[in-house]
Structure 1
Amino acid sequence: MSSETHHHTEHHADEHDTMTRSKIWQVFFVLLGITAVEFIIALALVPKGIIPLHFANPIYILLTLAKAFYIVAYFMHLKFEKVGLLYSILVPIIFIIGLILVLTNESHHWVDLRM
C-alpha cells in the first residue's frame, strides 16, 4: 500500500472512529449537565420567580436543541457527515416552524368564529 493511500485510509479511520468508552462518558456527562440545568431552572429558579416563565421557555428550547445536537452528532455518528447533520436538524425545524404558523393561523380562525 502506498504511503498516500495509507495516509488517506488512516485519516478516514480517525475521522469516523467509533465511540470510545471515555467519549461516551464525556457525552453522557454533557447531556447530564444540560439536563441538570433544565431541572434547576424548572424546579428552583422559575418557582421562586428568579427567572420568569416567558424567559425560561426559550432557554428550555435552546438546551433541548443542544441535547439533540449531541445525541445526533455522537450517537447517530453524524458529527463528521456535515450534510446529514445539517439536514437532520434543519428539515425538522422547518416543518415545526410551518406547523406553528399553521396552528397559529388556525387558532385565530377559531377565535374569530367565537365572536
Structure 2
Amino acid sequence: MAEHHTHTDGHAHEEHAALSKGKIWQVFGILLVITVIEFIIALWVLPNGYMSQGIGNIIYIVLTLLKAFYIVAYFMHLKYEKLGLQLSLTVSFIFIIYFIVLMLIEGDFLNLHMINH
C-alpha cells in the first residue's frame, strides 16, 4: 500500500508563513513599479531622445535582472533556502552571464576581423 508522508518538522509551513499576503502584495508592487519604469523609458524617454539607446539597454538589463531576482527570491522561494544553495545558484548564474558576454564580445571581434581583411 502507498504510504502517506507528512511534514512534522514544520519546515514547509515556515516557508509559506514567511511569505504572507502582505509580502506578496509588496513584491507585486515592486515588480509593478519596475515594469512601469520600463514602459515609461520605452514609450516616452527613448523615442523623445532624452536618453541614448545604449544607456536605455543597460537600464533595461538592470531592471530585468532586478525583476528576476524578486521573482526567484520570493515566488520561487529561493530566499528561504539554505545559504549554500543560494550561493551555488548565484555563482552559476554569474558565470553563465559572464560566458555569454565573452562569447558575444569574441563573436563581434571575429566578425569585425573578417570584414576588415
Same fold (TM over 0.5): yes
Q: What's 2:80 paired with?
A: 80
What is the deviation of 1:103? Answer: 2.9
Q: 1:58-96 CA deviation, whole Å, 9 max, x = no partner?
A: 111111111111111101111133332333333122112
Q: What's 1:46 paired with?
A: 46
The total of aligned residue pairs comes to 106
What is the deviation of 1:23? Answer: 1.8
Q: Alpha carbons of 1:62 and 1:15: their partners in 2 closer, same or farther (altered >3 Å)?
A: farther
Distance in 2 (CA, whole Å) between partners of 1:15 and 1:69 is 21
* SS of aligned partner of 2:78: coil
Q: 1:25-64 CA deviation, whole Å, 9 max, x = no partner?
A: 2111111111111111111111111122221111111111
TM-score by length of 1: 0.75
Instruction: Identify unmatched segments of 5+ residues in structure 2.
Output: 1-8
TM-score by length of 2: 0.74
Give yes or no for contact 1:72–1:85 (8 Å, CA) kept in 2.
no
The answer to whether the aligner puts 1:22 opposite 2:22 as a matched pair is: yes
Q: What's 1:106 paired with?
A: 107
Aligned CA-pair RMSD: 2.3
Instruction: Identify unmatched segments of 5+ residues in structure 1.
Output: 1-8
